[in-house]
């Protein structure tokens, strides 16, 4: 296995070249087809520490199973298991965990905390989600799109909803793979302007494009892929009622999706709320690939662990 990524962190897809992202996706495809093959002992004797300051279903299960299927061990560490909440610094935590573990996955609130952990640790640190970014989800999304569309370059993806962490990482991922992403969010909920600028700079070099608007009907026109996410993420519960009023016109439903390509696929990182950001007829319909997408979290993350920790 060609591996020029060993020892790297995965904090953001912007840190990876287009070729490196394709390298991860190619290995993810191989691992999906050959689950018990040549890589089944790649992480033998190695432990991935998994820090959860935000609860999770898919992230915990997919990373833990990924480590086991590669011959390693996934160690779950909740916020109550660590001294971070009692004043121990991230710097000290990173240095200590580096003496015990071979890699760290962290799912938390602040992107800066992940960057600080990576700075202090001398083992790979993987961003399992922050309020700003969700790179592992988007690796699985890219794998899913390539499975269904046969390519990434030139594919049009429409993202409808909050300009959140998933949206940010989708912009980085689409830009680096030559895709066209069209984002529709309400005023005040559009994606981060710095991330938009960085993604556009990359897209100008790869043949991709980044478009922003507030009209979801415009965003989904002729789209090959339509993606949405929850209207209120973890930590935004107090804004829920207000957000529901603002985002109601952004529901992905049949009226919206009929403007997309006839062969359009629908994706959602889950958990989904039927009747809110997505109608049941779309998420449970024939064009939905959300469970293939969820499965691919396992395969994309196995590839990431194999390349960074193997």
pLDDT, residue 39, reads: 85
pLDDT, residue 269, reads: 97
Residues 6+ apart with CB under 8 A from 290: 266, 267, 268, 270, 272, 283
pLDDT, residue 237, reads: 74
Average pLDDT over residues 213-224: 98
Mind listing the pLDDT tens digit for each residue in 75-125? 999 888 887 757 789 999 999 999 999 999 999 999 999 999 999 999 999
Whole-number average pLDDT of the chain: 95
In the set 69, 137, 143, 251, the catalytic residue is 137
Q: Is 134 a catalytic residue?
A: yes
Q: What pLDDT band is residue 35 in, cutting at 50, 70 and 90?
A: low
3-state secondary structure of 50: strand
Q: What pLDDT band is residue 1 in, cutting at 50, 70 and 90?
A: low
Question: Does position 2 have pLDDT exceeding 70, yes or no?
Answer: no
pLDDT, residue 37, reads: 73
Question: Does position 170 have pLDDT exceeding 80, yes or no?
Answer: yes
pLDDT, residue 92, reads: 94
Stretch (H or E) spanning 156: strand 156-160
Measure the CA–CA gap between 173 and 296, rounded to whole angstroms.
16
In the set 58, 107, 146, 268, the catalytic residue is 107
Mind listing the pLDDT tens digit for each residue in 232-277? 876 677 788 899 999 999 999 999 999 999 999 999 999 999 999 9
Same fold? 13-133+296-309, 135-293: yes
Q: How far is CA 4 from the centre of its chain?
A: 22
Q: Is 111 a catalytic residue?
A: no
pLDDT, residue 232, reads: 84
Measure the CA–CA gap between 264 and 224, rounded to whole angstroms.
4
In the set 60, 269, 299, 301, the catalytic residue is 269
CATH fold for the domain made of 135-293: Rossmann fold (3.40.50)
In the set 58, 60, 134, 268, the catalytic residue is 134
Percentage of the chain beyond pLDDT 90 is 88
Measure the CA–CA gap between 206 and 21, rounded to whole angstroms.
13
Q: What is the DSSP letter of 238?
A: G
Mind listing the pLDDT tens digit for each residue in 58-87? 999 999 999 999 999 999 998 888 877 577
Percentage of the chain beyond pLDDT 70 is 97
Average pLDDT over residues 168-185: 98
pLDDT, residue 36, reads: 62
In the set 8, 180, 229, 243, the catalytic residue is 229
Q: Is 269 a catalytic residue?
A: yes
Domain range summary for the chain, segments of one domain joined by +: 13-133+296-309, 135-293
Q: Is 192 a catalytic residue?
A: no
Average pLDDT over residues 158-165: 98
Q: Is 86 a catalytic residue?
A: no
Q: Is 137 a catalytic residue?
A: yes
Q: What pLDDT band is residue 55 in, cutting at 50, 70 and 90?
A: confident
Return the CATH architecture of domain 13-133+296-309.
Answer: 3-Layer(aba) Sandwich (3.40)
Residues 6+ apart with CB under 8 A from 287: 257, 264, 265, 266
pTM of the predicted model as reported, rounded to 2 decimal places: 0.96
pLDDT, residue 169, reads: 98
User: What SS3 string covers 66-113?
Assistant: HHHHCCCEEEEEEHHHCCHHHCCCHHHHHHHHHHHCCEEEEECCCHHH
């Amino acid at each position: 296995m060609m591996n020029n990524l060993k020892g790297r962190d995965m904090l953001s897809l912007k840190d990876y070249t287009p070729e490196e992202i394709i390298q991860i996706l190619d290995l993810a495809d191989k691992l999906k087809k050959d689950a018990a093959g040549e890589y089944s002992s790649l992480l033998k004797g190695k432990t991935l520490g998994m820090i959860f300051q935000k609860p999770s279903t898919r992230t915990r299960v997919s990373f833990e199973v990924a480590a086991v299927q590669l011959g390693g061990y996934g160690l779950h560490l909740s916020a109550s298991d660590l001294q971070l909440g009692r004043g121990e610094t991230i710097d000290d935590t990173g240095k200590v965990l580096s003496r015990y573990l071979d890699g760290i996955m962290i799912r938390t609130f602040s992107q800066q905390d992940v960057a600080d952990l990576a700075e202090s640790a001398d083992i790979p640190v993987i961003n399992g989600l922050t309020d700003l970014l969700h790179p592992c989800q988007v690796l699985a999304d890219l794998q899913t799109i390539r499975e269904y569309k046969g390519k990434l370059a030139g594919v049009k993806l429409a993202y409808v909803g909050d300009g959140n962490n998933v949206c940010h990482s989708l912009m980085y991922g689409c830009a680096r793979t030559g895709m066209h992403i069209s984002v529709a969010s309400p005023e005040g909920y559009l994606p981060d302007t710095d991330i938009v600028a960085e993604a556009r700079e990359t897209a100008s070099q790869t043949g991709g494009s980044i478009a922003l608007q507030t009209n979801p009907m415009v965003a989904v026109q002729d789209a090959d892929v339509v993606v949405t996410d929850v209207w209120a993420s973890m930590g935004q519960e107090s804004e829920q009622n207000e957000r529901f009023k603002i985002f109601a016109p952004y529901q992905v439903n049949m009226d919206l999706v009929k403007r997309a390509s006839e062969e359009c696929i629908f994706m959602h990182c889950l958990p989904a709320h039927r009747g809110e950001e997505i109608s049941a007829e779309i998420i449970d319909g024939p064009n939905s690939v959300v469970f293939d997408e969820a499965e691919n979290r396992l395969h994309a993350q196995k590839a990431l662990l194999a390349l960074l920790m193997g």
